[in-house]
Structure 1
Amino acid sequence: MDSDTLQVFQSELTCSICTKCFLDPVTIDCGHSFCRPCLSLCWEESQTPRSCPECREIPEWSDFKTNIALKRLASLARQARADHDHSSEEQICVTHQEAKGLFCEVDQTLLCGPCSELPEHAAHSHSPIHRAAEESRVGDASQAVWDLENYVALRKAMITVQYQRIPLLLHEDEKMHLEALEQEAKEICQQLKGSVFTMTEQAESMREMYRELTEMCHKPDMELLQVRKEDPFSERETSVQLHLPQPVVPEFNVWPIPGLIDWLRQFQVYIELHNERVTHHLPVFEDLRCLLAGPDGPDVDYTPPRSIYFLSWGAESFTSGQHYWEVDVAGCCNWAIGLCNDSWARESDMALDSKGIFLLLCIKENSQHSLFTSFPPLPQYVKKPLGQVGMFLDYDGGILSFYDVANSSLICSFLYCSFSSPLKPFLCSRYP
């Protein structure tokens, strides 16, 4: 299938919500088709009656069956794309016209066999692509353990600052809070390390199966047919699939700090919002979604069609002192709150990697809520607050903290900041 035909074929099998080939496609009353998870998520986040995301017709039924024919065609389209990509120029060495089947661990590039023997690569360590991918996954899991340990150390500092700030809080409460955090961290780290161990074992098992299959391909025909009849790999492959490690999603309890909100409210200020804006495109969210997708993610817009961002800024800026205010995020799945400088507020791109922004962002992906602070984006492994979020700025002390008001608990803090420009309160929410 040539590239043009493949492109047309795939465009007809693409979900207009996620812009990818259909997965579990359903066809609704009006005739339009979507991935079942995409349609469910779109309707879940929508504030209006459930309607077709394309033509807005309201379907009579909501219990749709999988479109089997469309599902098979989408599977063929994905396979065709994989075959096309595998044989594309990017996977073939231009010099030697051989497939790039080796990964150079020093240069982090793909090489063909002859290229790996050239002087500039001969002394480097090489590995087959599939093995490099397995080791990369193990490395990612090991990195997750390291990242979690760093997060716990930072969260300890956040908690300690809260107890140091408020003289009425008891030292015993601080000790219990830190001990509980230590215990949770220990349990989650054990789960992550167990996942690393399991992945390492399975990677070795897959490599052994690969070696055996390679040897089997060179057996005489009759012997090969006998091996095929006995099917020695089926049971082992099934075992590997059944024992794939489940992803570990770290989440820490946020322990209430008695008297915290009452103490903060002595610094409460009224925030008058102005410069309200409505837009369909906001890079601060879309940049974060691209980062979450990773470097191998597709280069597409992650924002669902017809998403609307509502932005507003405080009428006044802070240049010194201590200030506390609260924002209601109830009923909103995707939001960003915090502080920004005047220049960022005036910029049209509002990129996530800009200087002068101190934001807490909530992102909903696949029914999972995640919290991040900017920049660089750091995950905050605590539950999403359900109502009021309090913000306390100590401009001169270089601290901005976020609180779950209903639980009287700390969400996270920016510590040891060097505020040097006027900062405005910022609020953004996205629908659907």
Structure 2
Amino acid sequence: MHPLLQGEEKLHLEALKKEAKDICLQLKDSVFRMAQYRESLREMYGELIGMCHKLDTELLQALGNILQTTDLAEMQKPQPMNPELTCWPVSGILDMLNNFRVDNILSQTTTIHHAILDDASVMFRDNDHGASRQPRVVEGVVSWEAQAFSSGRHYWEVFVTQSSSWILGVSKDILVSDTNFSIYSEEAFVLFSKKMNDHYILFTNSLPLVQFVKRPLSRIGVFLDYDNGAVSCYDAFRSSFIYSFLPSSLSSPLKPFLCLGSLCMSVSVTIYFSFSSEEIRSRRY
């Protein structure tokens, strides 16, 4: 490695270590605040239960204290935090990757519309068979490459500007119909962007890991080194690293793909993976 890159790597690792330490301290403080908030709610609950047996005049007199306690508890309510590490740019990484660049990589494209039941209607599934169940339509644009890679090194970029929810990567098998998009393969390397609560997070399929980095907003680069069984993802706009899958022995050709839209967050996107019984037990949580 060039001395300049070694120095840059050292600085980045030191900065990330400090960031991670600060985030851990913030999380510990958040846990402490949550414990305090829970105790305040318990005390408030006890007071409210006790007031149920009081006369109306006594209730009116105690109302001011209750409102004050409620305001205090609301002030103590811990704010959610998003543990996100800085994406440090890597000097020259895109110049190196562009030596293996393949353009127009996703030659096949289709739009999928799929109707699913919303959560409200599903709630009545077991209790009221006569309740109306309104379907909700999700849609997405799926692009893939008909010709698979079976050797060599390849780098391509995809644009995710138009959607905050997406799935991309490479897979042995890609099944696309008018209403569904499915991946079925032991050899699949997938990066997801999905909304959870008020935040969008990145996570990968192998192993199922959340990536605590800023979500790419523009171009994502994918580098496939087939002969060495390596797949890596980069934030091409920031020239930063996202994730590198653990090297594995590849035995089947791999096809690049990209899915954009609300379809990516629905049950209509199905990703199948085959695990041994030992792996299944180890992945339960």
Same topology, TM > 0.5: yes
TM superposition shift of 1:229: 0.8
Q: One-letter code of the match for 2:83?
A: P
**2:90 maps to what in 1?**
257
The change in CA–CA distance for 1:185 and 1:360 in structure 2 (over 3 A counts) is: same
TM superposition shift of 1:262: 0.9
TM superposition shift of 1:211: 2.9
Give the alignment of 1:274-313 within 5 angstroms: 274-281=107-114, 307-313=138-144
Q: One-letter code of the match for 1:171?
A: Q
The change in CA–CA distance for 1:350 and 1:310 in structure 2 (over 3 A counts) is: closer
TM superposition shift of 1:393: 1.2
Give the alignment of 1:112-261 within 5 angstroms: 170-217=5-52, 221=55, 225-226=57-58, 228-231=60-63, 232-261=65-94
Give the alignment of 1:319-330 within 5 angstroms: 319-330=150-161
Whether the 8 Å contact between 2:223 and 2:232 is mirrored in structure 1 is: yes
The change in CA–CA distance for 1:354 and 1:341 in structure 2 (over 3 A counts) is: closer
SS at structure 1 position matched to 2:14: helix
**1:59 maps to what in 2?**
none
SS at structure 2 position matched to 1:206: helix
TM superposition shift of 1:202: 1.4
How far apart, CA to CA, are the structure 2 residues paired with 1:311 and 1:270? Answer: 17
Measured against aligned partners, the alpha-carbon deviations of 1:194-225 in whole angstroms (never above 9, x if no partner) come to 11111111111222233344445456x4xx74
Q: Does 1:374 align with 2:205?
A: yes
**1:345 maps to what in 2?**
175
TM superposition shift of 1:233: 2.5
SS at structure 1 position matched to 2:114: coil
**2:221 maps to what in 1?**
390
SS at structure 1 position matched to 2:190: strand
How far apart, CA to CA, are the structure 2 residues paired with 1:230 and 1:298? Answer: 38
How far apart, CA to CA, are the structure 2 residues paired with 1:325 and 1:275? Answer: 15
TM superposition shift of 1:431: 7.3
TM superposition shift of 1:392: 0.7
Whether the 8 Å contact between 2:171 and 2:183 is mirrored in structure 1 is: no
User: Of the candidates 230, 233, 249, which is equivalent to residue 399 of structure 1?
Assistant: 230
Bigger relative contact order, structure 1 or 2 (CA pairs below 8 A, ≥6 apart): 2
Give the alignment of 1:90-101 within 5 angstroms: none
How far apart, CA to CA, are the structure 1 residues paired with 2:257 and 2:115? Answer: 14
How far apart, CA to CA, are the structure 2 residues paired with 1:206 and 1:309? Answer: 43
TM superposition shift of 1:370: 3.1
Measured against aligned partners, the alpha-carbon deviations of 1:388-420 in whole angstroms (never above 9, x if no partner) come to 221111223332111122321112222234433
How far apart, CA to CA, are the structure 2 residues paired with 1:282 and 1:194? Answer: 43
How far apart, CA to CA, are the structure 2 residues paired with 1:215 and 1:193? Answer: 34
TM superposition shift of 1:384: 2.7
Unaligned runs of 5+ in 1: 1-165, 291-296
Q: One-letter code of the match for 1:322?
A: R
Whether the 8 Å contact between 1:271 and 1:315 is mirrored in structure 2 is: no
Q: Does 1:336 align with 2:128?
A: no
The change in CA–CA distance for 1:357 and 1:168 in structure 2 (over 3 A counts) is: farther
Q: One-letter code of the match for 1:266?
A: N
**1:425 maps to what in 2?**
256
Whether the 8 Å contact between 1:282 and 1:349 is mirrored in structure 2 is: no
Provide the TM-score with structure 1 as the length reference: 0.50
How far apart, CA to CA, are the structure 1 residues paired with 2:24 and 2:121? Answer: 33
- The sequence identity of aligned pairs, in percent, is 43
Q: Answer with 252-261 or 201-210: which moved more.
A: 201-210
How far apart, CA to CA, are the structure 2 residues paired with 1:240 and 1:192? Answer: 20
Q: Does 1:266 align with 2:99?
A: yes
The change in CA–CA distance for 1:230 and 1:332 in structure 2 (over 3 A counts) is: closer
The change in CA–CA distance for 1:365 and 1:227 in structure 2 (over 3 A counts) is: closer
Rg larger for: 1
What is the aligned length?
249
How far apart, CA to CA, are the structure 2 residues paired with 1:228 and 1:397? Answer: 75
TM superposition shift of 1:375: 5.3
Q: One-letter code of the match for 1:263?
A: M
The change in CA–CA distance for 1:171 and 1:376 in structure 2 (over 3 A counts) is: closer
Whether the 8 Å contact between 1:352 and 1:374 is mirrored in structure 2 is: no
Measured against aligned partners, the alpha-carbon deviations of 1:120-143 in whole angstroms (never above 9, x if no partner) come to xxxxxxxxxxxxxxxxxxxxxxxx
The change in CA–CA distance for 1:226 and 1:430 in structure 2 (over 3 A counts) is: closer
Provide the TM-score with structure 2 as the length reference: 0.72
TM superposition shift of 1:177: 0.9
TM superposition shift of 1:322: 2.2
TM superposition shift of 1:307: 4.5
The change in CA–CA distance for 1:202 and 1:430 in structure 2 (over 3 A counts) is: closer
